[in-house]
Amino acid sequence: MTHLTDLTIAEAREGLRAKSFSAAELTQAHLDAIEASNAALNAYVLPTPERALEMAKASDAKLGTGEGGALEGIPLGIKDLFCTRDVRTTACSHILDGFTPTYESTVTSNLWAEGAVMLGKLNNDEFAMGSSNETSFYGDVVNPWRRDGSDAPLVPGGSSGGSSAAVAARLCLGATATDTGGSIRQPAAFTGTVGLKPTYGRCSRWGIVAFASSLDQAGPITRTVRDAAIMLGAMASHDPKDTTSADLPVPDFEAAVGKGVKGLTIAIPKEYRVEGMAPEIEALWQQGISWLKEAGAEIKEVSLPHTKYALPSYYIVAPAEASSNLARYDGVRYGLREKGSDVISMYENTREAGFGAEVKRRILIGTYVLSAGYYDAYYLKAQKVRTLIKRDFDQAFETVDAILTPTTPGPAFAAGEKSGDPLEMYLNDIFTVTVNMAGLPGMSVPAGLSSEGTPLGLQLIGRAFDEETLFRAGQVIEDAAGPSPKPADWWSKA
């Protein structure tokens, strides 16, 4: 029998219903794996074993009577950006030291209502700002993947690096994540996992620590496309507590998996063939095109002429909104407080001590672009550019059903390799950020290994609220690429 931690969510669901094992056994297997692995990987910032076993026991009771939700007894990891009642939630920032919410985010409430089990809180870049999980107050997350013949630590991507590392290393069956500029899809690509950023509005943002409110969206990281469909079905809902939450029925996403791509038209945007792109990324892309073609899709080249403006406009919109959202951390109502001679210096000292370098940099950029006299030149301009980016996609989707691109310009890089230059780090999001700017759904699917032996992902972009087409095309890629290999375990303590 395979290890319980190697199961997919779909397999675990069958096993639990058939009573081949109990939710308590499944949960314990994961708790043991976390115990043995977390020192090396640092994926969890707060394992919650007692709560996990309690929830698993409750699931076993329900499963025993043939009841239970869509995720009954399924052990998941929760990114530390989701507020969890009575469980410390810090967004991996020093400024939220010890913050213990008295409420539960809508997405996690939905998961618990469907019977999921919480294994603990997962590491992420501080306030989800980063592409390598090197900005967390709780330290770097280490990618379970290594380059062939090397034991140098690689980054797991970011900001959802704890989520991607935990899913890849079998420390949970699936994980919640959030994506503002690529924070679900890029870490998924770096770890050989599936990462889905749903359409803006598909999942409620209520109770998720805010970064850039017009871009933030929650989604799953899993090991298979089907598992992503199962998890998204439980995470998504219309929520009156979030005015940007879409009042639309949640489709049966899992039903779309396996429907194939016959009759669909998939677009290849020529602007994504960027200068200096690694030949192996180009080759992977061509491979993806052939797979979809062989499965019956029609392939068409399209033009998205404003692509190159997505990243610069993102670096106005996201910091602007962050500077506003993060104004609430002032040492008064929660988290850290540093002393000052008066109330202003208390604020200044608290925020100086509480925020890391990347967060400060973005707050200052945001404050600058929103300061008197600059709003029109920066924020308004960037929001207008978003309209142009969105228009490119709208025009493309008049004749195509989905768009295929690489997820990242390259495979996972080494820790410290890009952290010296903020601009170089930002360029990692070049293929993912357009999707956030337009509010569309995007999914990264593992599609092969790099010449270094590390995972690479392909990204599928869909029409607004058409995640189903992504699941159809994603499954075709997954089937063609074969089961995503498991990284060799170097991290478990004996």
Partner 1 sequence: MSVDRATVRRIARLARIAITDDEAARLETELNGILDWVAQLDELDTSDVAPMTRVEAMTMKKRKDEVTDGYCADDIVKNAPAVDDHYFVVPKIVE
Give whole-number Cα distances, 256 to 104, 185, 298, in Å. 30, 20, 19
Q: How far apart are CA 343 and CA 182, in angstroms?
A: 37
Binding pattern for the stretch 99-128 against partner 1, x by CB under 8 A and - elsewhere: xx-xx-------------------------
Min dist CB 282 to partner 1, Å, is 25
Q: How many binding residues for partner 1 (CB under 8 A)?
A: 70
Q: How far apart are CA 236 and CA 184, in angstroms?
A: 16
Q: Report the amino acid identity of residue 476.
A: V
Q: Identify which of 333, 124, 110, 320 has the alpha carbon closest to the alpha carbon of residue 214.
A: 320
Cis ω for the linkage preceding 159 (within 30 of 0): yes
CB closer to partner 1, 345 vs 399? 345
Among 64, 98, 139, 416, interactor with partner 1 by CB under 8 A: 98
Residue 346 sits in the site that holds partner 1 (CB under 8 A): yes
């994504």: which residue's tokens? 272
CB closer to partner 1, 300 vs 308? 308
Binding pattern for the stretch 305-334 against partner 1, x by CB under 8 A and - elsewhere: -x-xx--xx-xx------x---x--xxxxx
**Interaction with partner 1 in 464-493: which residues (CB under 8 A)?**
464-465
CB 31 within 8 A of CB 52: yes
Residue 249 sits in the site that holds partner 1 (CB under 8 A): no
Q: Catalytic annotation on 159?
A: yes
CB 207 within 8 A of CB 108: yes
**Interaction with partner 1 in 222-241: which residues (CB under 8 A)?**
240
Q: How far apart are CA 288 and CA 138, in angstroms?
A: 37
Part of the chain binding partner 1 (CB under 8 A), chosen from 25-33, 152-160, 361-369, 445-453 = 361-369
Residue 271 sits in the site that holds partner 1 (CB under 8 A): no
CB closer to partner 1, 198 vs 455? 198
Residue 21 sits in the site that holds partner 1 (CB under 8 A): no
CB closer to partner 1, 233 vs 335? 335
Exposed e or buried b per residue across 285-319, where buried means at least 16 C-beta atoms within 10 angstroms of its C-beta: bebbbebbeebebeeeebebebbebbbebbbbbbb
Q: Which of 160, 164, 183, 245 is catalytic?
A: 183
Q: How far apart are CA 437 and CA 435, in angstroms?
A: 5
Backbone angles phi, psi at 232, to 5 degrees: -60, -35
Q: How far apart are CA 138 and CA 334, in angstroms?
A: 19
Part of the chain binding partner 1 (CB under 8 A), chosen from 3-11, 75-83, 198-206, 284-292 = 198-206
Q: Which of 93, 105, 159, 484 is catalytic?
A: 159
Residue 347 sits in the site that holds partner 1 (CB under 8 A): yes
Q: How far apart are CA 215 and CA 200, in angstroms?
A: 7
Q: Catalytic annotation on 79?
A: yes
Q: Under the rule (CB under 8 A), what is the footprint of partner 1?
A: 98-100, 102-103, 199-201, 240, 243-244, 246-247, 306, 308-309, 312-313, 315-316, 323, 327, 330-337, 340-349, 351-352, 355, 360-361, 363-365, 367-368, 371, 377-378, 380-388, 390, 422-423, 438-440, 464-465
Active site residues: 79, 159, 183
